[in-house]
Structure 1
Amino acid sequence: MKKFLTVLYLTFSAGLTPVAAKYVTAEISPLSLAFFRFGLATVLLFIFFKVKGISFKIDRKDILYLVMLGALCIPVNQFFFLVGIKMSTASNSGVMYALTPMIAYLISIYIKNEKYNFKKLITISLTIIGIVIIFWESLLQSLEQQSNLFLGNILLFFAVSSWAIYVTLSKKMIDKYGSLKTSTLAFIAGMILFIPLFIYDLPNFNLDKLTFGGVIGFIHLSVFVAFLGYFIYSYSTKFIKISTLATLTNLSPIVTIVFSYFLLGEKLSVYFITGASITILGVFLTQFYSDKEILND
């Protein structure tokens, strides 16, 4: 029961993130939302960090590396994600973020952290085909309706790429300092770097349009995802295999699509359903071959 509830929480919290972000960015400027979202999460992490009595001390040579991780995690990723989702759709974002393991794998091959695997690259090509179909539809819609949908999808792709780079590169620091210390220091660095963007965005910040639903969405994004999501994921790895966890939480895009349809009224076209199905299939097959590699090892 504990395993089921943990996976359920992680799947739904991740799946509802694009839905909440789409809702809140309609009421608050994306850059201001990013600042307050991770500002609150960073404060909560900092408090927990101090309560645990963990030292802030790190090797001098790692300072710039952690600053780079902070830049990727907050200013870069959140700019692309929240500005992108405001222009695009929550369902598109959900499918895009399913690409994270694929992009992380390709980066790992490039920096020689992982070995080349032909079968995995074939399954990755499936996800690329699915994304191309979604991008093609958004390009057609942007041209016909003069919308920003295609640009939004481009920004979301950059958001996913920056997050995948962060996940891949942070492994080095996590192995050395642990996930809590690495995340806390990266968040603090990222928030400091984000301050100029927030100051630039101040003229756009107001709460006139903020509704109760927007407040709930903000709490979900900052507390239940950026803060609690970290702890529950770390806790879950103690009694659930990481490979199993990754496979089950790959259901998140489906959760996003369903709730985008019912809560946001997003239309699911034939193009989107086809592209999303191919992409999610590619994700599951890639994870399947990853699990086989782990068993063989």
Structure 2
Amino acid sequence: MGPQTHSQSLRSAYIKLVLCAFFWGATFIAGRIAVQAMPPLTVATGRFVIASVLLLLIAYRVEGGLPKLSHKQLWVTLLLGLTGISIYNFFLFGALERMPAGKTALLVALSPIMTAVTVALILKEKLGFYRWGGIALALIGTLTIVTQGDILNATQSLIQTFSWGELLMFGAIVSWVSYTVISRFALRGLSPIAATTYATLWGTLVLGLAALTELDRLSAEMLTWNNFFAIFYLGAFGSAIAFIWYNEGVKMIGPARTVVFTNLVPVFGLLLSYLILDEPVYISMVIGGAIVIAGVTLTNQANK
């Protein structure tokens, strides 16, 4: 690959990662709309049934089908499906049931910080002074968002301050960090399309089994066009397309640099929640979000 071709590939990867952030920012709005009308696991299952169908079509059209998995690849893609699909969406849609979409999106900004720490622990990469400072900043920003700026009183009663919605969102973040790190190993010998498709199939199977517990909560009144389009958006744009492009980014520039683009997710999420859902935007959310993004940016600078 020549320098010009490599530069074009990088530019294409960066554009796709920005679009991923936009698609994922909008998933908080679509998810919020859907879970206000339907049970969360049912929404998550519908999302990934659509994503699975689209991914299979893409895999057969682009790559002529899915490759046969080795024993190791089977277990790695299963882990991807459990972390990035099943567990992540269980926590995410549980959080969206309990808190506004904009606030949920803001908390996603913790993902790059936690990824940097996880990569450092697993791959023995040292975090310098500036990176530790960025981590501290991000934690302060997160506390500012969660406590609506009342950090001092919050530290005296953390259990009362942190709601179930926020705790579920932190679980989603841990799941996504796991998915990002595991993706690095899954993409050895598998294309982004194949890895994403297999992971989605595994995750959809697990979600579908879990959704059986919600059958008694379903009704015909839930079958509206608004709900259908929300779930279709989640499956097509927020899953099939975005997951392939995200994995392409991991393969092209590595997990630590790829996950930095999730900094844009809360920006798009907060903006769209205000424009579409008319959710209030508090000054503490803006300040806290800015602090988190500053901390993430500092953490992901080159080693110093």
Provide the residue aligned with 2:59 in structure 1.
49
- Map Cα deviations across residues 75-129 of structure 1 (whole Å, 9 max, x no partner): 2110000011110111112111122111111111121253333311211211111
The aligned residue for residue 95 of structure 1 is 106
Pick the aligned partner of 1:157 from 170, 195, 210.
170
Tell me what 1:195 maps to. 208
The offset of 1:66, in angstroms, is 2.4
Match of residue 93, structure 2, among 82, 85, 92: 82
The answer to whether the Cα contact below 8 Å between 1:130 and 1:279 also exists between their aligned partners in 2 is: yes
Aligned-residue offset at 1:23: 1.3
Structure 1 residues 197 and 244, CA, compared in 2 at 3 Å: closer, same or farther? closer
Higher mean alpha-carbon deviation, 76-85 vs 132-141, is at: 132-141
Q: Choose which of 118, 126, 133 in structure 1 pairs with 2:129.
A: 118
Question: Are 1:69 and 2:86 an aligned pair?
Answer: no
For residue 20 of structure 2, what is the aligned residue in structure 1? 10
State the shift of 1:227 in Å: 1.0
Once the 2 structures are TM-superposed, how far is the Cα of residue 26 of structure 1 from its aligned partner? 0.8
Which residues of structure 1 form unaligned runs of 5+? 142-146
1:108 aligns with 2:125: no
Task: Give the 3-state SS of the residue equivalent to 2:279 in structure 1.
Answer: coil
CA 200–131 in structure 1, closer or farther in 2 if over 3 Å, else same: same
Q: CA deviation at 1:239?
A: 10
Which residue identity lines up with residue 135 of structure 1 in the other structure? Answer: V
How does 1:249-264 map onto structure 2 within 5 Å? 250-264=263-277
In structure 2, the CA distance between the partners of 1:5 and 1:57, relative to structure 1 (3 Å rule), is closer
Q: CA deviation at 1:240?
A: 9.5
| Residues 20 and 218, structure 1, Cα contact 8 Å, conserved in 2 | yes
Cα distance change of structure 1 residues 50 and 248 upon mapping to structure 2, 3 Å threshold: closer
Q: In the superposition, relative to structure 1, how do residues 192 and 160 fare at CA in structure 2: closer, same or farther (>3 Å)?
A: same
Matched, 1:38 2:56: no
1:137 counterpart SS class:
coil
Which consecutive residues of structure 2, in runs of 5 or more, have no partner in the other structure?
1-10, 155-159
Deviation at 1:7, TM superposition (A): 6.0
Correspondence 1:131 to 2:142: yes
CA contact 1:28–1:207 (8 Å) conserved in 2: no
TM-score w.r.t. the length of structure 2 is: 0.81
| Distance in structure 2 (CA, Å) of the matches to 1:164 and 1:242 | 10
- Identical-residue share of aligned pairs (%): 24
Aligned equivalents of 1:239 and 1:96: distance in 2?
26
Q: How many residues align?
A: 286
Partner of 1:176 in structure 2?
189
Distance apart, 1:233 and its partner CA = 4.7
Q: Distance in 2 between matches of 1:19 and 1:178?
A: 30
Distance in 2 (CA, whole Å) between partners of 1:162 and 1:238 is 19
Q: Conserved in 2, the CA contact under 8 Å of 1:13 and 1:224? A: yes
Question: Is the alpha carbon distance of 1:113 and 1:199 closer, same or farther for their aligned partners in structure 2, counting shifts above 3 Å?
Answer: farther
Q: CA deviation at 1:207?
A: 4.6
TM-score between both structures, scaled by the size of structure 1: 0.83
Q: What secondary structure does 2:189 align onto? A: helix
- Write the letter of the residue equivalent to 1:106: V
Kept in 1: contact 2:59–2:65 (CA 8 A): yes
Cα deviations by residue, 1:120-139 (Å, 9 ceiling, x for unpaired): 12112111111112222399
Is 1:204 matched up with 2:202?
Answer: no
Task: Please give the alpha-carbon distance, in whole angstroms, between the structure 1 residues aligned to 2:258 and 2:90.
Answer: 28
Question: In structure 2, the residue corresponding to 1:176 is in which secondary structure?
Answer: coil
Q: Which moved more, 1:131-140 or 1:152-161?
A: 131-140
Rounded to whole Å, the distance in 1 between the matches of 2:15 and 2:76 is 35
Provide Cα deviations, 1:244-269, integer angstroms capped at 9, x if missing partner: 87656633312211221222122222
